[in-house]
Amino acid sequence: MAEPLRPATTAVHAGRPPHEPDQPLNGPITMASTYVAGGDLEYGRYGNPTWTAFEDALGALEGGRCLAYASGMAAVTSLLDLVALGDKVVVPRHSYNGTLVSLGDLELRGRLSTTLVDLTDTDAVVAACEDAALVWFESPTNPALEVADAPAIIAAAHDAGARVVVDNTFLTPLLQKPLDLGADLVLHSATKYLAGHSDVQLGAVVTRDEELATVLKGRRDVQGNTPGPFEAWLALRGLRTLHLRVERAQANAAELARRLADHPLLTEVRYPGLGGMVSIVLPTADQADLLVRSTALWVHATSLGGVESSFERRRRWKSEPATIPEGLVRLSVGVEDVEDLWADLSQALDGVARPSG
């Protein structure tokens, strides 16, 4: 076909066996720790056809070469490993917790230095890029849902000779394509929207830089932070409906954010206008804790991006930055009927708002 495929078609078709007699429509799960010698694969840690199918599909969606990892954090630590001794990393103060914890640990051990920035202050981020080797951001941020001026930050990082990593877990390639914006590397926790059913742990990196891809592949070969074949298969199965799930989750999130904006109990409703994540702020931690215990459909759980709606008071984690309000509850809006989600959430909010007696 002459025209490049649209993302929905790519999500459904990429990474499948060829249309030939007796080929299955879906590639099998190849359970193998070793292969007959003399080919390209050789050993289980070096490659697996089921990983490759997932990598081909996500690579096609992001527009680069993809490498799958055992988890999002396995991908994060592999990319942080690219930083040379003593290099400076610029990262938003509201980033994924595991990323901040890893950076803190590396800094404590003298491996690198970290500069935390307020992602909404573009001038400050641009200034911090000046002597950086790596600029790393998520947009929107977790769980503050702040949005970056990505083109300005990427340009400043490149002017400084720094590499740019964008963690695209929250928006997926359907809503944001960081490589098209100039980023060098895209990272995913495929555990979230890409797999989409709260049953898989998987990570991925995508880049257009072939040299970098070769370095990362070589390290993955020896570090062994490789995915399980079943996990890669489940993530690819999830990816087939990514566009449908993201579309519904986003429509539900936008509608809930609109209705929540009028709720007298909430001091703040944050929704960046796209994606399926909404953060609400209750006046106190106790009220937020009561809310997450008062619903029937919404499940109190960490993680996000599943078909089922879940929510969490983020400050229940000791490592969450103190700049996140105590009463902030992050909603991962699922693909259920929005009226049922609203009925469950609004009765719980009304119960919290009613003075107990």
Ligand X SMILES: *Cc1c(COP(=O)(O)O)cnc(C)c1O
Which one of 57-65, 68-76, 207-215, 309-317 is the stretch in contact with ligand X (CB under 6 A)? Answer: 68-76
Residue 350 annotated to the active site: no
CA of residue 254 relative to chain centroid, distance: 19
Of the residues 69, 88, 96, 240, which is catalytic?
A: 96
Residue in this structure with the two tokens 């025209």, named with its chain if needed: 3
Q: Collect contacts of 64-67 with beta carbons under 8 A, ≥24 apart.
A: 64/179, 64/186, 64/206, 64/207, 64/208, 65/206, 65/207, 65/208, 65/210, 65/213, 66/204, 66/205, 66/206, 67/204, 67/205, 67/206, 67/213, 67/216, 67/217, 67/220
**Is 138 near ligand X (CB under 6 A)?**
yes
Which part of the chain contacts ligand X (CB under 6 A), choosing from 185-193, 224-232, 249-257, 276-284? 185-193
189 binds ligand X (CB under 6 A): yes
| Token digits of residue 176 | 């944001």
Number of residue whose CB is nearest ligand X? 72
**Is residue 45 annotated as part of the catalytic site, yes or no?**
yes
Site string for ligand X, 91-110 (x = CB under 6 A): -----x-x------------
Residue 164: Cβ within 10 Å count:
26
> Judged by CB, which is closer to ligand X: 214, or 302?
302
Q: Structure tokens of 325?
A: 């309000």
| Region binding ligand X by CB under 6 A among candidate stretches 82-90, 150-158, 186-194, 332-340 | 186-194
Residue 72 sits in the site that holds ligand X (CB under 6 A): yes
Rounded Cα–Cα distance for residues 269 and 225 (Å): 38
Known catalytic membership, residue 318: no
What whole-number distance in Å separates Cα of residue 52 and Cα of residue 58? 10
Q: What residues are labeled active site?
A: 45, 96, 167, 192
What residue ranges bind ligand X (CB under 6 A)?
Answer: 71-73, 76, 96, 98, 138, 142, 167, 169, 189, 191-192, 201, 203
